[in-house]
Structure formats: structure tokens, C-alpha cells
């Protein structure tokens, strides 16, 4: 009965307002409550001819300017859900999605599960806005609570140890640039030599959503970048290239592997490019930089993201407590 009522209500979406839909819902329940329905395992013609809502949603995201990487993640997440639930989109209920997300509990961390919930919610909210469904079944599924983990940042000693033990001038220049700008590793590998303004000690990076922003580096970074570029004998436009011929543009995995190996050699825990970004945010806030400026520096669209990146130095909290409270 619920399936029949849903089909009728979906068909009337474009013809009735909210009050009229509520009245129709009551009439259908009262009219059909005494009927007996026989389940037919064969898919109806409407189910077989259902539009590819997932593709339509991805096209809508492309128009909004989402990156190909994000769209690929959206698509795979939605298709996995549809494959598991095995129902037409219009018949998926809140309980179906709760069970689907609940089955992930033993497989993934809560942060991953909440990311899945968020994408599924975005998908069904879009369907509701486009009048393909009456109401999103994710409305009553709230944000999944996750544990707050204090993530590590580099100490000043860690930075200096890594800088002193770089065997290649290229690696030293990379560490200096990541440390002084806080740019993403994806932004680092996309940089060209022409993007660097040595006079102003700044460069323009291409961030998420193809948004450009300026980042700034210090004098040490300038000197080491110039030394690195003078040492090269290739004609590649990329700022950072592989050490071996044909000196192709360095990719993200190449930077991550290089950083990880350096950390293992020096016995420094969890050395990776993103940790420089978190370290810069923490250092900037601890030294009094306004959070809005840190947000601009990191290229975050929401200030909440910036606050999550910055791990407030506990010693500063202790000193402030003594100053203002004790």
C-alpha cells in the first residue's frame, strides 16, 4: 500500500501544493486501508524506465563547478548505495538508508560514514528540490557524532631536522614552500615556474573548485627555490620535477613517498605534506593572526574548516588561564 501511495503522490507533485498533498495523503490512506495487496516480485514498467538520477545529479554538480575528483566520489558513493539497497530511488525509505549506513559500522570509521551520509543527503535533497521525490528520506538521519582526535603538528625542531637532512635541494625547496605557504600538495604539484613571483615572494595557486588565491613564502624559501631552479638542466615548465630523466612533473604520490621516507629515516612520526598545512594554521593562530586571514591563506570556503585544521597549542591555553583566570 505504501508503494502505491508513494507512486500516486510522486505523480501529483507538480500539480498540488503542500496542503493539497497532505489532504491527498490522508484520503489515500483512508481509502486503501481495507484493501489487500499482493506483492509482485516483477519490476513495474515505471521501475524499469526510471531515469538515471545519479547521472543527472552528477551533471548538476558539474554545472555548479565541482571538480572531477569530487564528482567521481559522489557518483561511486551513490551507486554503491543504490546497488546495496536495490530499490527504485523513489521507493527508498529512511529505514533503508539507516540500515545501509549501520552496516558500515564495523567496516569504516565514523568520519567516513558521515561523509557517505552527507553525500547521500545531498543527492536526495537535490531530488526533492527538483520535484523528483516528495521528501528526502535523509531528513531524519542526523549528523553522525565523531570522536575529536587531536592531530599532530610539526615542532620547530622537526622542521629544522628535516631541512638539515635533505639530500636534494629540490626536497629542501619543497619542505620550505609547504612550511611557509601551507598550500595543499595538489596545489604544489600544479605550480609552474612562471607562477612564482620572487620579487614579492608570492605565488598564485589553483585550489579546490578551480579557485585561485595568493600564498606567500619567506626569504629562506626564495633562496632555496632559486638554487633548485639553477641546478636544473631540463626545459619543463613545472616548478617541481622528478630527479631522473626525462624529469617529468612531480605528482602527488611522488611528494608523499618522498616525505614519508624522510620521516622514517629521521624517526619523525607521520611525515606527510598535509601536516605542514595544519602546522601553519596552528602556528598562525597561536601567534595572533586573525582567523579570517588564516582562512584566506588556506583557501577554505568555511571558517569552521579552518578551526578544525588548527590545533591550539596547549601551553598557550595554560598561559592564558594563568593570565585571565588564576
C-alpha cell at 219: 626569504
Phi–psi pair at 58, nearest 5 degrees: -65, -40
Secondary structure of 77-121 in HEC code, one letter for each residue:
HHHHHHHHHCCCHHHCCHHHHHHHHHCCCCCCCHHHHHHHHHHHH
249 is catalytic: no
Cβ burial of 221 (10 Å; 0-12, 13-18, 19+) is buried
- How far apart CA 214 and CA 203 sit, in angstroms, is 6
274 is catalytic: yes
Active-site residue (options: 163, 213, 232, 274): 274
247 is catalytic: no
Active-site residue (options: 208, 220, 232, 249): 208
Active-site residue (options: 184, 190, 222, 278): 184
Active-site residue (options: 222, 224, 283, 300): 300
CA 190, 76, 300: angle at the middle one, nearest 5?
A: 45
Count of alpha carbons within 13 angstroms of residue 194, beta-carbon side? 3
Active-site residue (options: 90, 170, 277, 283): 277
Phi–psi pair at 202, nearest 5 degrees: -150, 165
184 is catalytic: yes
Grouping H, G, I as helix, E, B as strand and the rest as coil, residue 9 is: helix
Cβ burial of 247 (10 Å; 0-12, 13-18, 19+) is middle
- How far apart CA 228 and CA 226 sit, in angstroms, is 5
- How far apart CA 247 and CA 264 sit, in angstroms, is 25
Residue 29: count of CB within 10 angstroms of its CB: 12
300 is catalytic: yes
Catalytic residue numbers, as ranges:
184, 208, 274, 277, 300, 309
Amino acid at each position: 500500500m505504501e508503494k502505491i501511495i508513494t507512486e500516486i503522490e510522486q505523480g501529483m507533485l507538480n500539480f498540488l501544493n503542500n496542503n493539497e498533498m497532505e489532504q491527498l495523503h490522508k484520503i489515500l490512506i483512508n481509502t486503501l486501508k481495507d484493501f489487500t495487496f499482493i506483492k509482485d516480485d516483477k519490476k513495474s514498467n515505471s521501475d524499469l524506465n526510471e531515469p538515471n538520477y545519479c547521472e543527472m545529479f552528477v551533471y548538476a554538480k558539474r554545472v555548479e563547478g565541482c571538480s572531477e575528483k569530487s564528482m567521481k566520489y559522489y557518483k561511486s558513493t551513490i551507486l554503491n548505495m543504490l546497488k546495496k539497497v536495490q530499490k527504485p530511488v523513489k521507493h527508498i525509505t529512511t529505514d533503508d538508508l539507516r540500515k545501509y549506513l549501520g552496516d558500515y559500522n564495523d567496516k569504516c570509521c565514523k568520519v567516513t560514514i558521515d561523509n557517505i551520509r552527507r553525500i547521500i543527503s545531498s543527492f536526495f535533497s537535490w531530488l526533492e528540490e527538483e520535484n523528483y521525490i516528495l521528501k528526502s528520506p535523509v531528513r531524519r538521519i542526523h549528523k553522525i557524532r565523531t570522536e575529536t582526535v587531536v592531530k599532530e603538528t610539526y615542532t620547530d625542531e622537526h622542521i629544522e631536522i628535516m631541512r638539515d637532512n635533505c639530500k636534494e635541494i629540490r626536497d629542501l625547496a619543497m619542505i620550505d614552500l609547504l612550511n611557509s605557504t601551507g598550500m595543499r600538495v595538489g596545489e604544489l604539484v600544479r605550480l609552474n615556474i612562471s607562477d612564482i613571483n620572487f620579487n614579492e615572494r608570492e605565488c598564485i595557486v589553483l585550489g579546490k573548485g578551480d579557485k585561485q588565491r595568493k600564498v606567500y613564502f619567506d626569504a629562506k624559501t626564495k633562496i632555496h627555490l632559486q638554487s633548485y631552479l639553477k641546478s636544473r638542466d631540463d626545459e619543463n615548465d613545472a616548478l617541481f620535477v622528478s630527479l631522473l630523466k626525462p624529469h617529468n612533473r612531480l605528482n602527488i604520490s611522488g611528494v608523499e613517498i618522498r616525505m614519508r621516507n624522510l620521516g622514517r629515516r629521521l624517526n619523525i612520526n607521520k611525515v606527510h605534506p598535509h601536516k605542514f598545512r595544519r602546522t601553519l594554521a596552528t602556528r598562525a593562530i597561536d601567534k595572533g593572526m586573525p582567523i579570517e586571514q588564516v582562512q584566506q591563506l588556506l583557501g577554505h570556503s568555511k571558517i569552521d574548516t579552518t578551526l578544525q585544521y588548527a590545533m591550539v597549542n596547549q601551553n598557550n591555553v595554560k598561559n592564558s588561564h594563568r593570565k585571565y583566570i588564576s
